Amino acid sequence: MRWRTNCTLAALSRQYRALLRACARQSSLDIGKKLHAILLTTGLAASPNTFLRNTLLHMYSACGCTCFARKVFSEIPHSHKDTVDWTTLMGSLARHGMPGDALRLFLEMQNVGMWPDDVTMVCVFNACARLGDAVAGAQVHVWMVKMGLGFGVSTCNAVMDMYVKCGLMGEARRVFEEMNEWSVVSWTVILAGAVKWEGVGSGRSVFDEMPARNEVAWTIMIAGYVGDGFTREGFSLLGEMVLSLGLGLNYVTLCSLLSACAQSGDLVMGKWIHAPALKMMEKEMDIMVGTALVDMYAKCGRINTAFQVFEKMPRRNVVAWNCMLSGLAMHGRGNIVLDIFPQMAKEAMPDDITFTAVLSACSHSGLVDQGRHYFYKLESVYGLSPKSRTLFLYGGSSRAVGSFRRS
């Protein structure tokens, strides 16, 4: 197919860019791929001046399809790549489990002479935080200051978050104190670090100093109290948050609080949180909240209640199944684990954690023959490599694996 005029080419390019941007906003990967196929078939994207490949890069990055995003990025001439293109791919890599690749892309960006902006630096520090690489993060921080970059609030927040996640609270506080202005996110980052690394007492001091608090800040403080066993203080703050300020319990808040209850074994608080969770999800229980409830009840010794919650979940992923199987194994219900495992295999693909739970259940219940049967299914049926099996030697099923191998 040939386009008759430059006017037609420009108009069609605009229309396709608009469609691809809509796919990016809606995370419509399937439609985006079909549009990409049309562009390849017609040759419309062949000219870099249409900037259609740039828009494809943004669409694939927004949809989390990093493989296609990388391929499209490599097809764009250097003369037609700008800072936004480099940053888009970098951010997508960092968000989707490839922070090391994101940092390597940043180095490549510097080598070709492309100057980063504040958004780029936020992506770089996010990658360092996900890697837990304080050395790389500190080096980039020094370079950024030397180059006169990154004095915006969002960049400073990313630097603080990196230091907090790497356990360097002194550095995080230093950045905080040197900022000209603070947003609620700035305060929340410091609060999270104080609660995690310095304790709830230090966290409460930061919390009380905050000029404004969002739901995240309240959740961090309440979860900190509950996780450390200060149930009364946690209840008090939760009541103030919900009743006095009118802030609701969203899914993130519910999961954070339930996780804290599971950590501390606080069944009373967990049951109290279960009630608003049910009210919020009258039609259908969210997978994350349902999994958090199962985990909380199992770790608080109420395995029957955990199983009841699990059975009522309309959809269950591998995380939910692993949580239930691990809870049953922990409570010596090996027979139930083996009874429900075939159903699990129909709903989700088993992974290493699944088999750790299954082998642990067999070990605790004395089901050696069944354990050996599942042990040898690892590679033959579910495609788990021998390397994955070694994980069991360092987990709760090490004795089970030894006995299964000997038998």
Mean of pLDDT values over 48-57: 91
Residue 314, Cβ neighbours under 10 Å: how many?
10
Which amino acid appears at position 293 of this protein? L
Report how far residue 4's alpha carbon sits from residue 312's, in angstroms, rounded to the nearest whole number.
60
**Residue 39 pLDDT exceeds 70:** yes
Lowest-pLDDT range of 74-78, 90-94, 99-103, 358-362: 358-362
pLDDT band at 395, cuts 50/70/90? Answer: very low
Question: What's the pTM?
Answer: 0.73
Please tell me the predicted confidence (pLDDT) of residue 295.
94
pLDDT on residue 403: 47
Q: Please check the confidence at residue 400 and state whether its pLDDT lies above 60.
A: no
Say whether pLDDT at 351 is over 90.
no
What is the mean predicted confidence (pLDDT) over 31-59? Answer: 92
E-only strand ranges, 9-148: none
Whole-Å CA distances, 49 to 44, 53, 89: 10, 10, 20
- The pLDDT value recorded for residue 77 is 93
- pLDDT tens figures, 226-256: 888 887 888 888 878 877 676 667 777 888 8
Give CA separation, 254 vs 10, 275, 276, 278, 291, in Å: 50, 11, 9, 11, 11
pLDDT, residue 6, reads: 53
Q: What is the pLDDT confidence band of residue 368, given thresholds at 50, 70 and 90? A: confident
Least-confidence region, from 6-20, 102-116, 232-246, 276-290: 276-290
- At residue 28, φ and ψ (nearest 5 deg) are -90, 80
Q: Can you give the pLDDT at residue 226?
A: 83
Mean pLDDT within 255-278: 84
Residue 190 pLDDT: 98
For residue 64, the Cα-to-chain-centroid distance in whole angstroms is: 13
Cα→Cα distances 191→42, 146, 197, 255, 357, Å: 54, 28, 10, 19, 35
Residue 388 has pLDDT above 60, yes or no: no
Q: Which one is predicted more confidently, 278 or 175? A: 175
Residue 390: half-sphere exposure toward Cβ, Cα within 13 Å: 3
Mean pLDDT across 34-44: 92
pLDDT exceeds 60 at position 99: yes
| Spatial distance between the Cα atoms of 294 and 20, rounded to a whole number of angstroms | 40
Instruction: Tell me: pLDDT of 166 over 70.
Output: yes
Domains of the chain, residue spans: 1-81, 213-312, 316-407
pLDDT tens digit sequence for 181-216: 999 999 999 999 999 999 999 999 999 999 999 889
Whether residue 397 contacts residue 360, with contact meaning beta carbons closer than 8 Å, is answered with yes
Q: Length of the chain in residues, anyone?
A: 407
